[in-house]
Every structure is written in structure tokens, then in C-alpha cells.
Copies of this chain bind each other. A is one copy, B any other.
Amino acid sequence: MLPKQLSKSEENYLKTIFNLSDSGNKQVSTNSISKILNIEPASVTDMIKKLSKKKLIYHEKYKGSAISKKGSKLAIQIIRRHRLWEVFLHDKLQFKWNEIHDIAEELEHVSSEDLINKLDKYLKYPKIDPHGDPIPNKLGEIDLIDKISITGLKISERGIVSRIIKEDENFFSLLKKLNIEIGTEILIEDIIDYDGSIEARIENKSVIISKNIAENIKITKI
């Protein structure tokens, strides 16, 4: 029988579980899903049951959820759609890189495969989206460019920002204040023992970046 289309909600849960599970490698807690989606844990439990019944995830009561192979495949296709639309919005429609996420969040649920493949072709099969995230191809294969974070650099080392992991407005506006975007060069001037904050030179100005933020910014060492 046909793998009946998922609802927008189901797609959002699946994508979230896939992401939280580190591409399918970890168990995911109900609470963590609840926090990302801004939906009460009780409701998350409901949807977990639903996705379990469809064999898109495995769930053990009170323990957590793991995504299945079938679930991963679908999640990757949703991520593919999201990232391709982001390329379109950024490269063709000239949206700023921090404006594209929310719109792509809507567009990703328009599920014509034909549409996505034609869009892919039109965009010339891009490998990464404007945040530096890799775009799965038609078959769901992803170029794993496993970059290090800013926290992976030592004092006096340099890197070029290649990928921004978090996607929320607050994070983006912070990055804007710090003058950080894809391609920005960063020099580590000091690492503060107390809490792991990093003092870095960006466009000739010294800034302090908290450890948490630094972990969410991937770079290429130079």
C-alpha cells in the first residue's frame, strides 16, 4: 500500500526527533521534543504513540524514543526540502540568511517529490544551504562534512565560519551583533578558564563568545 502522506504535525515531530537523536544515533526524551516544538509533554506522548504505531519511531514507555530506518528516510526528505527552499529563498529571492528559516519551515511541507527534484535541478544541485548545512540528495545521501566547532580551536588558531547550527531568531540577532556569518574569519585570543568562554577577534574587534554559543558555530581551521 502507499506510504500515506504524513500530516504537517507528524512531519515536524519526525524531523525534530531525527535532529535531536543526532541523525538516529541517540534516544530522545519526551521532554526535549516538547521543548523544541513548544508543545506540552502530554501531547508529545500522544504523537509518539501515533508515530510508533506507524513504525516511524520505536518507543519504550518512560524510557524515550528512537527513530526507525523508515522514519529516518522520511525525516531526511523533509530536511532536504527545507534546505533546498532555503537556498531558493536566499540565492534567488535575495532573502537575508536569517530570514529564511521560518518561511522554509512552511514550504517544506509541500510534499510533491516532482517539485523538489525540479527545484533541486533549478538550483543546480546545491550541496549546502545558506547556513552551511549539507543538503541530502534525492536518495537521502548526505555529504558528511563533520566540522569542528569554535570550541575545537586553541589560543591563536584561526577558522572560517562554515555552519551555524541553531536556527532561531534570538541566536541570529546575537550573531549579527557579533558580526558573525558564514565565511567570517575568527581568531581565538583567549579561552577563559572560569566558564570556557572564548575571547575572539572578529573583523578586528575583540568579542567574548560563551561556550554554548561557540559550540553551535562550526568552522574550518585555517
Contact = CB atoms under 8 A, between A and B. Distances in A.
10 contacts: A89-B115, A93-B115, A103-B112, A103-B114, A103-B115, A106-B110, A106-B111, A106-B112, A107-B110, A110-B110
A102 B114 CA distance: 12
Contacts of A89: 115
Interface of A is mostly: helix
What's the number of copies of this chain in the assembled complex?
A: 2
Interface in A106-130: 106-107, 110-112, 114-115, 118-119, 122
A92 interface: yes
Interface in A83-104: 89, 92-95, 99, 102-103
Contacts of A118: 93-95
Given A103-B115, A115-B103, A122 B93 contact: yes
Closest 7 CB pairs of A and B: A93-B118, A106-B110, A103-B112, A103-B115, A93-B122, A107-B110, A92-B122
Contacts of A106: 110-112
B110 A93 contact: no
Contacts of A107: 107, 110
A78 to B, nearest CB: 15
A110 B115 contact: no
Contacts of A112: 102-103, 106
Which of A92, A93, A95, A114 has the largest count of B CB atoms less than 10 A from its CB? A93
Nearest to A119: B93
A107 B85 CA distance: 12
Interface string A125-139: 000000000000000
A106 B113 CA distance: 13
A122 B89 CA distance: 11
Nearest to A8: B8
Which of A103, A110, A111, A119 has the largest count of B CB atoms less than 10 A from its CB? A110
